[in-house]
Amino acid sequence: MQPFLFYAELMEQNVPAGTPVRVRLRVVSNPDYVDAGGNTVFDIQFNIDGAPAFPDGMTAAGGANPVPQLTQSGVFYYNFTGLAIQSAPYLLAISVTDSTAPTGPNLLTVPVSFTFLVIAPPPPPPNQTAVSLSRYTPPDTNDEPFWVNLKASQLKFKPMFEFVVNYGLCSVDANSPGSPMPRRLPFVGVSQYSILKFSIEAFMASVVSPGSDPALSSYLIQQPNFANAKVLPYYDMILQNLQQYQFANTEDACDKRFFDKLQNFSALELIYDYWMDQGGLVQAMNLICLRFQNMRKIPELTAFYRLDTNPLLPLTDLLWGYIQDEQHTVSLHRRVHEYDHEYGLTLIGKAVPNVRPVDSRSSFLEAFHTLLHKCALYYVKSDDTTYIADGLPVLNALKEVNILLAEGNHNAYGNLTFTARHENTVQQFLMAQPEMDRFLGGRAMVPYAEPWQGPVDTIRGIMGWGNVSIRHFHNLATYGELILLSVRYGNWSVVIDPNQAANWANAFRNEIMQYIHSYRAVTGVDLSADTVGLREEHFMQPSVLIQRRMTNARSGNNGRPATGSRVSLAN
């Protein structure tokens, strides 16, 4: 009885020409074998159509690479290539014999021979075409350069900070003894703050859009009735109702001022200041000022006991001038009423006045959040390469928001927006001074986008104004401003092409999704939820949702006492 059982298998019955014929031999230990010390070496032979055959790379016994003998169990493969196509099948015979008796019986388990055909390979299919799926891209529209211009014109903190430091506070001419100041405040000892204030104003006045950007030549419309001013299509529609104000040249000072307003506008939105109010920038600055004046109006100010500015460093003079000039700032009362007039947004706090508006944009929040929701749904569909997303729902939502923004674009809109942003920028500049970090401390390893954010977050933590970072409020302010500017100054009321709305959604995708994310972080409401329609909580005032989250955070603050109201000190 042999020690192994041998099983041979033919891998393929029909073998394309050029492809090897593969044989698999399985050698299995015989469970009934009793080792008596005999021979355990076996030879394997192959015969194709009556002639000896050798697997690829192997030779007969005595050659350079003889067919290996079988000495143990396992699975072995043998390939035979180079067989020509023939009409009759090949006959492959396999035998396994004891090496001590080469003419002995074939030990291979039946079958001991196989038939196979070598066939012609299938011809390659003619004119092969690669097929792939890609995202659908709507045709280009002529307002896309305007959106690029808006993004480039948005007011940024870092270049403003560098401008004020290099050309304002540290300018030799501005600080030299006896140098005349073109503008100054009516107070004593406020020269440094006066330079700061008017330097920021000069920088903001220089950041306008669209200006004379040559990339907008095909988008802007020339106005022959207004000294050939090139204006936005939105302004062109408005000017059709202002024919009584025509002028042919800009030599007159009044006409020149009107001409500049037609061609340029400040790329600012009041929603930026709204989110800064919600984030606590103004309130944090008020706390600093109260401590600077040694006024303990609330018990929490004891936490700022060691906030002592050094008279040898710049912050003392800047804070002195800021406090002296406080009477000239826009009051909380006026800001709150303008928030309601433009966006229907409110604040909550002890210092917030009872708002009794004449004209409120109460439906704006619903329209704006519906627009963001429609955009989120559009992105899901546009990412599906088997689907062409329809931009019409986005277009209808854009039209609604555009009309509501236009209705609020009156009275104090331009002046208050510029002034409030100027004051916020001054506050950010003061908070960004290195002395603030020295007095307040804070988390030095947190990567804040702008230097004023760390001190504000520290004060938020001290006062218990929630566990959401000011970074999210800043994202809401920055991205919300850019989104609303593109809607306000777009000529959406006459657009009927859904591709234009689809291009807008694609152009501002990053800003919209960042706004949605930060809104969820601040309020707990996800505007991108894949639902049939938005629920009531999606249209609630952000101040209500923020107050609710602050209350929940205080109730779970590990026994720490709740601190003062976040907006109780707003000016």
Q: Percent of the chain scored above 70 by pLDDT?
A: 94
What pLDDT does 66 receive?
A: 92
At 400, the pLDDT band (50, 70, 90 cuts) reads: very high
pLDDT for 277 beyond 80: yes
Would you call the peptide bond into 210 cis, given omega within 30 degrees of 0 as the criterion? Answer: yes
Contacts of 322 (CB under 8 A, 6+ apart): 193, 289, 426, 430
- CA–chain centroid gap for 187, Å, is 46
What pLDDT does 569 receive?
A: 40
CA dihedral for 241, 247, 251, 252, sign (positive or negative): negative
Strand partners, 378: none
C-alpha distances in Å from residue 123, one per residue of 119, 177, 280, 491: 12, 93, 74, 59
What pLDDT does 531 receive?
A: 64
Query: What is residue 538's DSSP assignment?
Result: G
C-alpha distances in Å from residue 47, one per residue of 8, 109, 470: 14, 17, 84
Token output for 318: 């800047």
Using alpha carbons, select from 201, 180, 203 the residue that is nearest to residue 191: 180
Q: Between residues 229 and 281, which one has the greater pLDDT?
A: 281
pLDDT for 559 beyond 50: no
Strand partners, 210: 264
Are the C-beta atoms of 53 and 46 separated by less than 8 Å?
A: yes
At 205, the pLDDT band (50, 70, 90 cuts) reads: confident
Average pLDDT of span 345-354: 86
What pLDDT does 517 receive?
A: 96
pLDDT for 562 beyond 60: no
Contacts 24+ apart (CB under 8 A), 361-367: 361/404, 361/407, 361/408, 363/404, 364/401, 364/404, 364/405, 364/408, 365/539, 365/541, 366/539, 367/397, 367/400, 367/401, 367/404
pLDDT for 78 beyond 80: yes
What pLDDT does 532 receive?
A: 58
Using alpha carbons, select from 430, 456, 541, 476 the residue that is nearest to residue 272: 476
Average predicted confidence (pLDDT) for the chain: 86
What pLDDT does 533 receive?
A: 64
Measure the CA–CA gap between 170 and 34, rounded to whole angstroms: 102
Is 111 strand, coil or helix? coil
Helices 364-383, 392-407: axis angle to 10 degrees equals 160
Contacts of 297 (CB under 8 A, 6+ apart): 290, 569
Burial 36-72 (b: 16+ CB within 10 A, else e): eeeebebbbbbebeeeebbbeebeeeeeeeebeebee
Locus of tokens 């009885």 = 1
Strand partners, 16: 119
Phi, psi for 228 (deg, rounded to 5):
60, 30
What pLDDT does 181 receive?
A: 46
Instruction: Give per-residue pLDDT as tens, 415-473.
Output: 999 999 999 999 999 999 989 888 888 888 889 999 999 999 999 998 888 889 999 99
Measure the CA–CA gap between 205 and 184, rounded to whole angstroms: 18
What pLDDT does 211 receive?
A: 73
What pLDDT does 558 receive?
A: 42
Instruction: Provide the whole-model pTM.
Output: 0.74
What pLDDT does 405 receive?
A: 95
Contacts of 160 (CB under 8 A, 6+ apart): 200, 203, 204, 425, 429
What pLDDT does 166 receive?
A: 81
What pLDDT does 183 receive?
A: 56
What is the strand order of the sheet 42-48 is part of?
14-16, 113-119, 90-98, 42-48, 51-53
Instruction: Give per-residue pLDDT as tens, 112-131.
Output: 789 999 999 888 777 777 78
Locus of tokens 């004051």 = 423
What pLDDT does 52 receive?
A: 92
What pLDDT does 509 receive?
A: 96
Instruction: Give per-residue pLDDT as tens, 82-110.
Output: 899 988 999 999 999 988 888 888 888 77
Are the C-beta atoms of 136 and 378 separated by less than 8 Å?
A: no
Domains of the chain, each with CATH number or no CATH: 4-119 (2.60.40.1930), 144-155+267-553 (no CATH)
Instruction: Give per-residue pLDDT as tens, 465-524.
Output: 888 999 999 999 999 999 999 999 999 999 999 999 999 999 999 999 999 999 999 999
CA dihedral for 348, 351, 356, 358, sign (positive or negative): negative
Instruction: Give per-residue pLDDT as tens, 172-192.
Output: 555 444 444 455 677 888 888
